[in-house]
Amino acid sequence: MLPRVKIYYENGALGSVAPSEDGVIGIVASGTAVADKFALGTAYLITKLSDLDALGITEGSADVNKHIYKCVKEIYSIAQEGSKVWLQACANTVTMTDMFDKTKTYAKTLLDATNGAINILVSCKQEPTEYTPTIVDGLDGDVYTAMAKAQELAVWSAEEKYAPLFVILEGRRYAGTASSLRDLHLGANNRVQILVADTEASSNTACVGLLAGTYANVPVHRSAARVKNGALPAIIYIGTNKAELGSPDVIHDAGFVTARTFIGKAGYFWTDDKLATAVSDDYALVPRRRVIDKAYRIAYATILEEIGDEMPVTDDGKIPAAIAKSIQNKVETAIENTMTVNGELGVDPGNAKDTGVKCFIDINQNVVSTSKFIASLQVKPYGYTKYIDVYLGFQTTSN
């Protein structure tokens, strides 16, 4: 086995703006090649909507790639120009399941080509004319099988490329019956999110670009459903209906993301940040996923410097306390300087010493006999105010 750093995710502990490298989006799309401009299987970097001009992709009704234009346009309707979007297309005969299969040359090829830069990966599927979907639990069955493959791909990216990410899938072919949707809370796909909503009525797809653009435009700890983010820059539909009439509460309760309205407030807002996993999963929400994944990337880059380094040891081959403390401080400082100072960790405002990160190395590890040491790293998440109860009554003079 080659010398390496390996970071394991712990689970169960919780009991429940400028363009940023934290919001690099990858689009795995169906597409049609454009001679001398746009080739299938090639990764293209986009930093603004007008970059599609050079690829020969437009929003014209006759453009075979207009669905790609729509996705990118929706990203930049929220994300700032300069935000990075990587685009790679394959033939429209490729299923969404195959697009995210880590054994096939679609999404995996894009992740390899971009060297781990992507941390938000989305689908942008176009069906061939002759396609007949098999509806399973309220959606094209391809969505659910793609969900499993997307989870495997994202886990592979984290464990093998040290480049963690999450995936947003289109809830394709939604038939308009919210109660028929699968309960995603029964799964364990904590790197996959499924969106049931679109900017067009009666569509077979979903506005994943708008949701990805929301995440790219906010810091990692922030919820896409935060009302203070502002209303979405579009009317949102669920099936044939405007979102407020499309049973968003039922869709939300099944573990999907969709859009909603609030009485007395104009516009549409995302319902939540749910990933397709149990509510008790520490990583059941995208902000928690993004926070822990950012800490992962920082910790990996920091501890990687220790690979192959000589380490003084005690008489019994163990780690000297000063060495352990030095490494702990390096990791904590790297995360503090990158995350804590940006308000991305949930520090206690009443404790001036709380930085939201703790690293610990047990000095009783025998480095001489094992050539290995284990570090424990914890970062503190935020709480999210999803439910607010206000008790209102009259105040009398005697009160």
Give pLDDT tens digits for 39-89.
999 999 999 999 999 999 999 999 999 999 999 999 999 999 999 999 999
Nearest-angstrom CA–CA distance, 165 and 151: 10
Task: Name the residue with tokens 């209102």.
Answer: 392
Amino acid letter at 139?
A: L
Model pLDDT, residue 17:
42
| Alpha helices (runs of H) in the chain, residue ranges in sequence order | 66-76, 96-99, 107-113, 141-161, 208-216, 248-253, 286-303, 321-338, 367-370
Please identify every stretch of the chain with a pLDDT value under 50, giving residue numbers as ranges.
Answer: 17-19
Instruction: Calculate the dihedral angle through the C-alpha atoms of 342, 83, 204, 57, rounding to the nearest 10 degrees.
Output: 180
User: Amino acid letter at 71?
Assistant: C
Q: What are phi and psi of 48, to 5 degrees?
A: -160, 160
Measured distance CA(282)–CA(292) in Å, rounded? 10
Structural domains in the chain (count): 1
Please indicate, yes or no, if residue 190 is contained in any of the structural domains: yes
- CA–CA separation, 305 vs 236, rounded Å? 47
Instruction: With H, G, I as helix, E, B as strand and everything else as coil, classify residue 56.
Output: coil
Phi, psi of 178 (to 5 degrees): -65, -35
- Does a structural domain hold residue 244? yes
Nearest to 66 by CA among 55, 82, 77, 80: 55
Of the candidates 37, 71, 329, the residue with the CA atom closest to the CA atom of residue 212? 71
Task: Output the pLDDT for position 182.
Answer: 98
Q: Please check whether residue 315 lies inside any domain of the structure.
A: no
Q: What is the pLDDT at residue 8?
A: 74
Is position 85 within any domain?
Answer: yes
Indicate whether 394 belongs to any domain.
Answer: no
- 338 is a domain residue: no
Q: Which domain holds residue 97?
A: 21-278
For residue 182, being part of any structural domain is answered with: yes
Q: Which two tokens stand for residue 360?
A: 């610990």
157-212 pLDDT tens trace: 999 999 999 999 999 999 999 999 999 999 999 999 999 999 999 999 999 999 99
Please indicate, yes or no, if residue 298 is contained in any of the structural domains: no
φ, ψ dihedrals at 243, nearest 5°: -50, -40
